[in-house]
């Protein structure tokens, strides 16, 4: 059984309705945190973990993502002529190499499980990662790299402790034996009510999956919310191979939520030497509450 994770799936076919009208013509994964789109952070995290093949599961109007991960000859030529070699390097150094990127279409928005299933032929019969760009993790060691370092086969999901009243927002694990950062998963349920949640260990958008998960996803079983849930497929493979939750180091931001997205922008700006002082000063001097509009005197 191989424990090398070479492929990663990026489901990017969502409509991003929480961010309308900004996402009317722009995929939500292209929304920038400081100066990079969310999907680029996810791809760079995968690269740091040793991923060699990047599989995007797209919906309609996702051409902006395809263009972002392609060469831009006109822009690069303009930067070269202007002598802006530093900006040129910024555009090039993170791009996957030719042949490393593949796209497949999720023709209907039937849930995360369905999106992962759409990538089955590109994944093949080997363990693979799934990264949700909505979940951004600020960490000294990228989250997926932490996971691949601890992976020994089977299934692994990134987990974090949440307030019990928030369990209905997540997939939640029933924990077993704990060894360091690894928690044995004895059960998993999608968005349980707080009173019924088996724990407060919630799954976030980082997964390493055994290809056996496709056997359940092939059935297209509809779960919570009328969608094909990845969580249901994960529950079905418990007991067939090792299954662990991984308590990652770092701070997770829910960038599918407006407040979480704004917090991520502030946190990432404060983590940068070129922005930290100015942003910190602004936050220190900013009065609470919305600014009052100035009244203009009629002439």
Q: pLDDT tens for residues 216-261?
A: 999 888 877 788 889 999 999 998 999 999 999 999 999 999 999 9
Distance between CA atoms of residues 39 and 24, nearest Å:
17
What average pLDDT does range 43-70 have in this prediction? 90
Strands 155-161 and 243-247: parallel
Domains, the chain: 7-277 (3.90.550.10)
Distance between CA atoms of residues 107 and 57, nearest Å:
10
Say if pTM beats, i.e. exceeds, 0.75: yes
Q: For residue 201, list its beta bridge partners.
A: 161
What average pLDDT does range 51-72 have in this prediction? 87
Higher pLDDT, 96 or 53: 53
3-state secondary structure the chain: CCCCCCEEEEEECCCCHHHCCCCCCCCHHHCEECCEEHHHHHHHHHHHCCCCEEEEEECCCCHHHHHHCCCCHHHHHHHHHCCCHHHHHHHHCCCCCCCCEEEEECCCCCCHHHHHHCCHHHHCCCCEEEECCCEEEECCCCHHHHHHHHCCCCEEEEEEECCHHHHHHCEEEEEEEEECCEEEEEEEEECCCHHHCCCCEEEEEEEEECCCHHHHHCCCCCCHHHCCCHHHHHHHHECCECEEEEECCCEEEECCCHHHHHHHHHHHHHCCCCCHHHHHHHHHHCCCCCCCCCCCCCC
Residue 299 confidence (pLDDT)? 36
Cβ–Cβ under 8 Å, residues 79 and 92: no
Q: How many residues are given for the chain?
A: 299
Whether the per-residue pLDDT at 31 is higher than 60: the answer is yes
Whether the per-residue pLDDT at 80 is higher than 50: the answer is yes
Higher pLDDT, 71 or 201: 201
Whether the per-residue pLDDT at 283 is higher than 60: the answer is yes
Which of 134-143, 262-271, 278-287 is predicted least confidently?
A: 278-287
Higher pLDDT, 81 or 4: 4
């Amino acid at each position: 059984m191989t424990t090398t994770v070479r492929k990663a799936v990026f489901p990017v076919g969502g409509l991003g309705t929480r961010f309308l009208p900004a996402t009317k013509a722009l995929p939500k994964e292209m929304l920038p945190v400081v100066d990079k789109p969310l999907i680029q952070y996810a791809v760079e995290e995968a690269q740091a973990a040793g991923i060699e093949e990047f599989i995007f599961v797209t919906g309609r109007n996702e051409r902006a993502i395809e263009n972002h991960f392609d060469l831009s000859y006109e822009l690069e030529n303009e930067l070269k002529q202007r002598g802006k070699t530093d900006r040129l390097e910024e555009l090039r150094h993170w791009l996957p190499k030719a042949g490393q990127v593949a796209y497949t279409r999720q023709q209907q928005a039937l849930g995360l499980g369905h999106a992962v299933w759409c990538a089955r032929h590109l994944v093949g019969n080997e363990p693979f990662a799934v990264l949700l760009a909505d979940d951004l993790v600020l960490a000294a060691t990228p989250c997926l790299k932490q996971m691949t370092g601890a992976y020994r086969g089977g299934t692994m999901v990134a987990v974090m402790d949440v307030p019990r009243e928030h369990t209905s927002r997540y997939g939640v694990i029933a924990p077993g034996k704990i060894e360091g950062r690894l928690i044995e998963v004895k059960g998993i349920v999608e968005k349980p009510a707080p009173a019924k949640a088996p724990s407060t260990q919630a799954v976030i958008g980082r997964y390493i999956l055994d290809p056996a998960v496709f056997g359940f996803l092939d059935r297209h079983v509809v779960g919570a919310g009328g969608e094909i849930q990845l969580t249901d497929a994960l529950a079905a493979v418990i007991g067939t191979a090792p299954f662990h939750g991984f308590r990652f180091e770092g701070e997770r931001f829910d960038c599918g939520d407006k407040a979480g997205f704004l917090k991520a922008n502030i946190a990432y700006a404060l983590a940068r030497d070129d922005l930290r002082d100015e942003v910190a000063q602004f936050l220190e001097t900013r009065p609470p509450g919305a600014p009052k509009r100035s009244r203009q005197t009629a002439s």
